[in-house]
Amino acid sequence: MQPDQHDLPPATQGDPAADSPPPPEAPATVDEQLRAAELKAAEHHDAWLRAKAEADNIRKRAQDDVAKAHKFGIERFATDLLAVRDSLEAALAAENATAENMRSGVELTLRQLEAAFDRHQLREINPAGEKFDPHRHQAISMLPSEKEPNTVINVLQKGYSLHDRVIRPALVTVAKPKDA
């Protein structure tokens, strides 16, 4: 619905210029233009300084976070190992411990240690009977054997991996190929 001519204010009735934008202001003097440009430049400089300071703060916080992660990254693992240490100390403090009691205590402590390893994805590498893998095993010697060549026949020391990364390879003896 369009407004009637008498619904419009008297200044706009029948005036075609009422719908157009107001006329531009008179051109500013060079000094006024310079001042406006300087104000705008100062605003941009201030915004740039603030953005630079914020970026520096973010970088410093990130460096702090990385340093703390390196420093305290094993805190949960260390906390889990404290229970193992407490069990070992309790076993040593026992006055009249029998060999059977000591054995059951050591077995319980070993289960605590294994549980801590599992919680932190520290896995045992025990490759007895497996094919030799130089990425996970370290061969100490090769011995003649009835087993297939390059098969692990003896594990001298178990290896360990942390999140699928070998942190200690298993020390193994490998079956020697049969001479023809």
For 37-95, how does the pLDDT look when each residue is reduced to its tens digit (9 = 90+)? 999 999 999 999 999 999 999 999 999 999 999 888 889 999 999 999 999 999 888 88
CA atoms of 27 and 11, how far apart (whole Å): 27
pLDDT at 178 over 90: no
Nearest to 135 by CA among 158, 168, 163, 157: 168
Q: Of 25-29, 69-73, 107-111, which gets the smallest average pLDDT?
A: 25-29
pLDDT at 10 over 80: no
Report the CATH number of the 121-180 domain. Answer: 2.30.22.10
pLDDT at 14 over 70: no
Over the Cα atoms of the chain, what is R_g?
A: 40
Is 143:175 a contact under the CB 8 Å cutoff? yes
Residue 131, φ and ψ in degrees, nearest 5: -70, 145
* Strands of 152-157's sheet in order across: 137-144, 170-176, 152-157
Q: Which pLDDT score is estimated for 96? A: 86
Q: Which pLDDT score is estimated for 5? A: 55
Confidence tier at 162 by pLDDT (50, 70, 90): very high
For 92-114, what is the mean pLDDT? 91
Strands 137-144 and 159-162 turn out to be: unpaired
SS3 75: helix
Confidence tier at 180 by pLDDT (50, 70, 90): very low
CA atoms of 73 and 162, how far apart (whole Å): 14
Average pLDDT, the chain: 87
Residue that wins the pLDDT comparison between 27 and 123: 123
Q: Which pLDDT score is estimated for 177? A: 85
